[in-house]
Amino acid sequence: MENASKALLMAGAVLLGIMVLSLGVLLFSSFGGTSSRIHDNIEENQATQFNSQFTKYVGKENVTIYDVVSMARLATQNNQNYEFAHRAVAGVTGVDRYISVICGNVSIELGYLETQTIEDMESHFNKLISEDLKLVGQNGLPKYNVTVEISEVTNRVFKVICVK
């Protein structure tokens, strides 16, 4: 009888241990899923916040060359943060992180030419601004229509197109 009671106690302890392990596995998988969702939400919020720097100009009627130059500077800053010396080509890692700003069928961000320097970029920006200042009419500076393209891979803006 004594051995039977010890066997029952051991069986109960084993069952209790299995229940504790099962609870641990359940909590681990639950917390792992929550952590993944939180991480995804943080990435989505960061992409939305980043994109808003460019998408805020989409559909606006009063976008001027100054706004276009601001977007090109933001794109340049992004490209420098990712250490892109010049425009990435299709198939190269990071192609969706490089941001092109196209104004009048020409890319105007730093890096659209391999030999371009910051001074060249600023000179080009000043040239664009002075050309638009020559076109000032009754309605002020010429206005631009802005569209953006968002990468399906990174969910970030990778191309900004500005048309007069």
Question: Is residue 13 in a domain?
Answer: no
Structural domain contains residue 39: no
Sheet with 106-107, edge to edge strand ranges = 106-107, 100-103, 157-163, 145-150
Total domains, the chain: 1
pLDDT for the residue numbered 51: 92
Pairing mode of beta strands 100-103, 145-150: unpaired
Q: Does residue 33 sit within a domain?
A: no
> Looking at the domain assignment, is residue 110 inside a domain?
yes
Q: Which residue has the higher pLDDT, 56 or 134?
A: 56
Q: How confident is the model at residue 62 (pLDDT cuts 50, 70, 90)?
A: confident
Residue 130 belongs to a domain:
yes
Three-state secondary-structure class, residue 162: strand
Between 116 and 154, the more confident residue is: 154
Range of the domain at 97: 56-163
pLDDT for residue 90 = 44
Quick check: is 91 in a domain?
Answer: yes
Contact 142, 164 (CB under 8 A): yes
